[in-house]
Amino acid sequence: MDILNKTSTEKPRNLWKDNIVDDKYQRYVTISSIDSATKSEEIDDRIIYMDEIEKRKEAYGICGECNEPGTGERWCQSCNSKRFKESFKNWTSGNNNIDELIQYSQLNALIYTKCLEWIPFEKFQDVTYITRGGFGKIYSAKWPEGHIQYWDIENQEWIRNTDYKVALKIKSHLQIYFEGIVQCFGITQDPNTKDYAMVLYYCNDGNLRNYYLNKPENDTLKLYTLSIIAFGLLNIHNAERVHKDFHSGNILYSLSAYISDLGMCQPANAMSGKEGVYGVLPYMAPEVIRGYQYTKASDIYSFGIIMNEYLSEEIPFNNIPHDEYLAVEICKGFRPKISESIPELLASLIMKCWDANAENRPTAKELYQIIKKWDEEEVDSNSEIYSQMDEYKKIRENKLIKRSSENKPEIIKTHPQAIYTSRLLNFKNLPEPANSSDLLSSKIYSDASVTPVSECLECEI
C-alpha cells in the first residue's frame, strides 16, 4: 500500500529500512533552511534541501507516522521530539539546569546517540566502585532496561538495548556528543550522596595505558587508533572547545578508542583560573604550566605526548618526581624519550606537536588528515610509511616474543611522586617556554627521560 494514501484510521507501520547506514552521512545530517532574502537564493537553498531529503530517504528510510525521511537510523527527529516533550512532566532530576540539558538533547536529537535521559538510580544493579579520577569517583553498573535505540511505530514503544553495562562518573560534565567521544546515555543521581553522575558507555579494556600494557598482543592497529583519537579531538575543536585535561588515562578503549572525562572541557576562549591549573604534569603544554590560557594548541601538545607514549609503550616521566623541578625542565624543552622503534615520520610529527612554540604545532585537522593518510597507505608496500611501520612492527613483535619467553609480566617501576591523576598545580617564576638548543643527529638520547626538541625538524603536513 502506498504510504502517501494511508488512512488516518490505519495502524502505523514500521517502515524503517534495515540497510547499513553510510558512515560518511551518519550522525551529522542537518536540513538547510529555506528563508533566504532573494528568489535566486531560495531556489538554490531549495535544491540543497531536496538533495538532503533524497539522501535521508536513501540512508534512513521513511517514518511510518509522518511520512518524512528519517534523520538517523530508525529515527525521526520531528516525531520523537513531540513524544519526548509529552513526557517532560513525568520526570525531573531536581535540578533545573540538568533538566534543561536533557530536554534540549531530546528535542534536538537527530539520532539516538545524541539523546540523553534522566535515569533514576534504582534502575541500576551491581553498582561497583572502579577507581577515582581527577574529577570524581567512577563506578560500573548493570542497566537492565538499557538505553533507547528507536521508536517501534507498530507497537508504539521505545526499543532499548537491554542488559547494558555502563560506567557512572560522579561530578563530571559533558557538553559534546560526537563520534570519537565516549557516549553519554544520560544523567542519574546517587540517592545517598546526592551527587549527579553521567551514565557513560562502559569500555571493557579500561584506558589506553591499561590496554597497551595488558593486551599488547591485540594492539596491532596503532595508526588507526591514533587517527580515531585525532578525529575525536578534531570534533572537540570544531565545536570550539578545548579538552584541557588530555592524557592517556582519559582515553578509553573497547574495540576502539574514545576520548572521555570532559570535566574541564570549556569554550576555546575561556580564561584559565588564577589560582592554578588542573592537569597531569607530563602531558601539560609548557605555556599552560606557566599559567597561560588553555588553547587548542595546548591539546595538540598533549596529543604529542600521548602519541609517543602509545607508540613507545613507555609511560612519560614515570621514573622522576612530578614536581616544580620537572615543570622548569619542561619549560626549557625537556621531553620524554622517543624510542628507536618509532618510525621517523611519526617521530617528526610527535616533535612538531610538542614544540614549545604553540604556533608551530599542527592543528587537529592537520593531525587527523596526515595520520588517516598514513593509515590508508600502510597497506601499500610501495609507500614510505609501509616500510617504516613494517620495521616498527618487527621490533615490537620481537619485544613481545622475548617478554613471553621470559614467562613473567613486565614490571614497571614508577616513582612514588609520579602522579597521573589530575590535580591543581600552581608553580611560580617558571622560565619562558623554549625548545632545547641541543640537537643530536639521533632521536635516541643517553638520558632515558629526555629528547630535546628541534625547531629544525619539520613534519610534512
**13-22, 206-215, 313-322, 340-349: which has the minimum mean pLDDT?**
13-22
Q: Kindly tell me if the per-residue pLDDT of 46 is higher than 60.
A: no
- Mean pLDDT comparison of 243-252, 363-372, 413-422, highest-scoring range: 363-372
| Measured distance CA(21)–CA(193) in Å, rounded | 42
Average the pLDDT over 352-361 and give the result: 95
Confidence of residue 346 (pLDDT cuts 50, 70, 90): very high
Listed residue (302, 216, 303, 297) closest to 253, CA to CA: 216
Domain at 53-201: CATH architecture: 2-Layer Sandwich (3.30)
Residue 98's pLDDT is: 86
Q: Which tens digits make up the pLDDT trace of 412-431?
A: 788 999 998 888 898 888 99
pLDDT band at 262 (very low <50, low <70, confident <90, very high): low
* Percentage of the chain modeled with pLDDT above 90: 38
**Would you say residue 452 has pLDDT above 50?**
no
Q: Cell numbers at residue 223, please?
A: 595508526
Could you give the maximum distance between any two Cα atoms of the chain, in Å?
A: 81
- The CA-based angle 415-421-287, given to 5 degrees, is 95
Is the pLDDT at 243 greater than 90, yes or no? no
Rounded CA-CA distance 298/272 in Å is: 12
Q: Distance between CA atoms of 91 and 119, rounded to whole angstroms?
A: 9
Count Cβ neighbours within 10 Å for each residue of 217-240 and write b for 16 or more, e otherwise.
Answer: eebeebbbbbbbbbbbbbbbbebe
* Predicted local distance difference test score (pLDDT) of residue 136: 64
* Burial of 313: CB neighbours in 10 Å, binned 0-12, 13-18, 19+: middle
| Rounded to 5°, angle at Cα 381 from 377 and 384 | 60
For residue range 311-322, what is the model confidence (pLDDT) as tens digits? Answer: 999 999 999 999
Residue 37 has pLDDT above 50, yes or no: no
> Which helix (DSSP H) or strand (DSSP E) does residue 148 occupy?
strand 147-152
User: Amino acid identity of 268?
Assistant: A
Class of domain 206-405+417-425: mainly alpha
Span 399-405, average pLDDT: 79
Instruction: Find the angle CA(352)-CA(356)-CA(358) to the nearest 5 degrees.
Output: 75
- Alpha carbon of 393 to those of 54, 153, 313, 341, 400: distances in Å? 45, 51, 13, 8, 10
Query: What is the rounded CA–CA span in Å between residue 70 and residue 60?
Result: 5
Question: What does residue 376 show for φ and ψ, rounded to 5 degrees?
Answer: -70, -35
Q: Answer whether residue 259 shows pLDDT above 90.
A: no
Task: Average the pLDDT over each of 20-24, 58-62, 388-392 and give the range with the smallest value.
Answer: 20-24
Cβ-in-10-Å burial (0-12, 13-18, 19+) of 434 comes to middle
* Segment 264-271 mean pLDDT: 49
Asked if domains 53-201 and 206-405+417-425 share a fold, the reply is no
Residue 176 predicted with pLDDT over 60: no
Q: Is the per-residue pLDDT at 251 higher than 70?
A: yes
The predicted pLDDT at position 132 comes to 67
Q: How far apart are CA 187 and CA 89, in angstroms?
A: 17
Report the alpha-carbon distance of residue 101 to residue 98 in Å, rounded.
5
The DSSP code for 357 is: S
The secondary structure of residue 275, as a DSSP letter, is: T
Report the run of H or E that residue 103 belongs to, with start and end: helix 96-108
Average pLDDT, the chain: 79
Q: Which residues contact 418 (CB under 8 A, 6 or more apart)?
A: 317, 318, 319, 320, 321, 322
Q: Where are the beta strands (DSSP E) in 191-240?
A: 196-201
Higher-scoring residue by pLDDT: 172, 253: 253
Query: So what's the pLDDT on residue 403?
Result: 75
Q: Note the pLDDT of residue 20.
A: 40
| Rounded Cα distance, 298 and 382, in Å | 35
- What the block records as the C-alpha cell of 244 is 584541557
- Give this prediction's pTM: 0.71
For cell 520526570, name the residue: 91
Q: What is the DSSP string of 110-139?
A: SSGGG--EE--GGG-EEEEEEEEETTEEEE
Rounded CA-CA distance 143/162 in Å is: 7
* Matching residue, cell 553495562: 165
Section 300-323 average pLDDT: 94
- The pLDDT assigned to 304 comes to 96
Helix, strand, coil % (nearest 5) of the chain? Answer: 40, 15, 45
Residue 71 has what pLDDT?
A: 87
Helices (H), 322-363: 324-331, 344-353
* 90, pLDDT greater than 90: yes
pLDDT for the residue 288: 94
**Residue 274: which pLDDT band, with cuts at 50, 70 and 90?**
low
Give residue limits of the domains in the chain: 53-201, 206-405+417-425
- Per cent of the chain over pLDDT 70 is 75
Task: For residue 148, count CB atoms less than 10 angstroms from its CB and return exposed for 0-12, middle for 13-18, buried for 19 or more.
Answer: buried
Q: Are 421 and 275 spatial neighbours (Cβ–Cβ below 8 Å)?
A: no
* pLDDT tens-digit series, residues 198-240: 888 888 888 888 888 888 877 788 999 999 999 999 988 888 8
Q: Residue 169 — pLDDT band, cuts 50, 70, 90? A: confident
Count Cβ atoms below 10 Å from residue 304 Cβ, excluding itself. 24
